[in-house]
Amino acid sequence: MDYNGDLLQLLKLKKIMRHIIYVFLATAVLMSACQKKVTDDIKPQDLLSSDVVFSTPQKIENAVLAGYDALQSPEFLSGRVLIYVDLLGEDIFDRTGYFTELPRFNLTSNSGIAYNVWTAGYFAIATANRNLAGIAANSSKLTTAKAKELTAECKFIRAVANFYLVNFFAQPYVYTADASHPGIPLITQGFTSNDPAANTPKSSVAAVYTAVITDLTDALADLPLEYTGTSNDAYHDKTRGTKASAASLLSRVYLYKGDYANAKKYASDVISGTYGAFSLNSTVDAAYTSNGGEYITDEGIWSIPNNVNDNPNTNNALPMHYYPTGRGDLAISPSYLSTTTNPYFAIDDKRRTLIITGTTSQTSSYKFTRKYTDITGRADWAPIIRYAEILLTYAEAQARLASGVDADAVAKLNLVRDRAKGLSPSYTVLSFANKDALIAAILGERRIELAFEGHRFWDIMRVKGTVTNKYDSDGTTILPAEPFGAKKNVFPIPQLEVDKSKGVLVQNDDY
């Protein structure tokens, strides 16, 4: 991720950090999987390494940066999890069958897909927890302001990991009236060995969301507006936690929770410039176009960066799966392309220019996205939060809170839609018969604007929708509808971890 602007320094850092992290790898897995108890003769051999990691201010900061590297795992935010969210929806299909039973909602308890997401997510949490403990124990080596900032970054990283994990491994927040249904284990301690105290059951979804919101709120208070004094400040502003990225993620979390007042509040803070200046790019493809190897624009709020030397492998990178000259596994579904099943996607919408026909004999019958195109370097950044999402979150929250068709919600919707629309007129209040029609248009706009960025299935589930018109791998067979609340909308807890917990960690229903 080149966080220090020096590739050699970064690679050296990552090598050191991997060595250190491997020493306490059992801790990360333990935290996530509720490991079996250990005998008294196991010594915490990572203590010396921990002392080295937190011995100087620069090493402490480097350790925090390793937390972002954990999020960048090819099995997590740098690649696979965005794909999985969209594969569960209806807008792409796995034309090669590479992702086995995932698109059919038929994973098994020993699924490698589920295991890899679980392990990568909890590894990021383990890293954040260890760094929080290390910063607290070595705060005298830092200024007060720096200690607060680095602590905030760790909480931001932990919140991101918990948010993605709870949405994969538990039913949506709105599944029960008070979100009291089972979530995931909440791990907040930095264990230094295979500690039996880490054998933790699931917390409720409500408790997990509370923890995520607490971490993000704490982070928002102490994260910087922007980074200064680094070798590449603009790069850090888009790839490390900032006030804008924390507020933006809070708006998403509250939207998923159905707390529209807070979703609106945090989106409004970003839109008003409280946390920096953001705006839509002038063209629909600018956010996905590299500028000297970086994807830095006014629209990007927070991304997971990749470069030619540090990226997911050929089986995990976004361009390898999405672009036809790579693996080309993920074709765009007719459901997305059709104005019958995707009625807000006009034929002259400029975002259709982001859709291309396959160029090889194996792919020429299919359509693909060109949001991710770097097959050679696999350096496309994963766009986690864009300003367009914030505008649409505000529009939806405002529309839901209003008693009728709200002009402010329409205006925010137009900001996103007007950039891409062809000859269709802009929306007005009179364009909608009622507030439900406006909300439907906003959700339709989210489907188009945020396509292939890891939103679709969770957007359907948070409004208690049903996945329909979903194509199987042959691109012609329609799969059965998948309703809200179906048991296998949720990933299985890796059976290996359930078994090792000796009954503490309970498997999800129907696995």
pLDDT at 8 over 50: no
Q: Is the pLDDT of residue 45 over 60?
A: no
- Residue 385: φ, ψ to 5°: -135, 120
Q: Are 150 and 48 in contact (CB under 8 A)?
A: no
The two tokens of residue 79 are: 């690649």
- Please tell me which residue, 106 or 293, carries the higher pLDDT value: 106
pLDDT computed for residue 194 by the predictor: 56
Give the helix/strand (H/E) hosting 50.
Answer: helix 47-53
Rounded-to-integer distance, Cα 94 and Cα 103, Å: 7
CATH architecture designation of domain 7-318+374-394+451-500: Alpha Horseshoe (1.25)
Residue 184 in tokens: 């995931």
Question: Average pLDDT, stretch 379-407?
Answer: 98
Residues 244-249, mean pLDDT to the nearest whole number: 98
What pLDDT, on a 0 to 100 scale, did the predictor assign at position 502? 87
> In the chain, what percentage of residues exceed pLDDT 90?
84
| Percentage with pLDDT > 70 across the chain | 89
Q: Which tens digit of pLDDT belongs to each residue from 79-131?
A: 899 999 999 999 999 999 999 999 999 999 999 999 999 999 999 999 999 99
Mean pLDDT of 242-256: 98
Segment 175-227, tens digit of pLDDT: 999 999 999 999 998 765 456 666 789 999 999 999 999 999 999 999 999 99
Q: What is the 3-state secondary structure (H, E, C) of 51-94?
A: HHHCCCHHHHHHHHHHHHHHHCCCCCCCCHHHHHHHHCCCCEEE
pLDDT score of 384: 98
**How confident is residue 447, by pLDDT bands cut at 50, 70 and 90?**
very high
Quick count: other Cβ atoms within 10 Å of Cβ 47?
A: 13
CA 8 to chain CA centroid, nearest Å: 28
CA-wise closest residue to 441 among 481, 482, 406, 403:
406
Q: Is the dihedral of CA 319, 324, 326, 332 positive or negative?
A: positive
For every residue of 338-379, which 3-state class applies, written as one string? Answer: CCCCCCCCCCCCHHHHHEEECCCCCCCCCEEECCCCCCCCCC
**pLDDT class for 318, splitting at 50, 70, 90?**
very high
Mean pLDDT of 491-510: 94
Alpha-carbon distance of 288 to 350, in angstroms, equals 15
